[in-house]
Amino acid sequence: MYPYFGYAYPYRTPDVTSWKKYIKNNERFLSLLNESIRDERMAQQFYGELFQFAITPFERSMIQHAFVDERKHEQMLLQVYRNLEGRDPELPHVRAPEVREFTEGVKKAFLDELEAQETYREMMLLVSGEAYALRDYLFEIWSDEVEHAQRFTYIRAERT
């Protein structure tokens, strides 16, 4: 169990001995994986800033939920990378765009979540055969991103 800001997440360690042979295009998959780890880090930064602009407890709880999930996703994706490559990825330090106004920040968060859904769907489609644990990881992340888009849609609708 790994703690995430007061929450415990039952982190699975799947059997990964044969994942590489089930990835249709390893180079593309690793590129998307690196991009996703970077984007999850940026989302955490962005949601941390967005949280400061939230007015209601409901808005704060919706943003905090997404933030906690993004932290979980980063850890899951790092585990996938380590299992595939045997080392941590070498990623440059990233900085999320500054939040200047709440509703525009929520709109950006919504659009970023939609883009993330597309990325994780492509990654899932690159996995074939019996790499069920890897697909399960990606499906969990993908479904969280769908949920986040819904949460940000609701927040934005409430403000208009």
Q: What is the pLDDT along the chain (160 residues), one digit of tens a residue?
A: 333 434 444 545 555 556 888 899 999 999 999 999 999 999 999 999 999 999 999 999 999 999 999 999 999 999 999 989 989 999 888 888 899 999 999 999 999 999 999 999 999 999 987 788 899 999 999 999 999 999 999 999 988 7
Nearest Cα residue to 98 out of 48, 141, 147, 146: 48
Write down the pLDDT at residue 7: 43
Write down the pLDDT at residue 31: 97
Enumerate residues 6+ apart whose C-beta is below 8 A from 132. none
Write out pLDDT tens, residues 59-94: 999 999 999 999 999 999 999 999 899 899 998 888
Phi and psi for 88 in degrees, rounded to 5? -75, 150
Write down the pLDDT at residue 18: 63
Q: The pTM is what?
A: 0.87
CA angle 113/55/8 to nearest 5° reads 55
Nearest Cα residue to 72 out of 101, 40, 118, 47: 40
Structural domains of the chain, with CATH: 23-88+101-159 (1.20.1260.10)
Write down the pLDDT at residue 9: 47
Write down the pLDDT at residue 17: 57
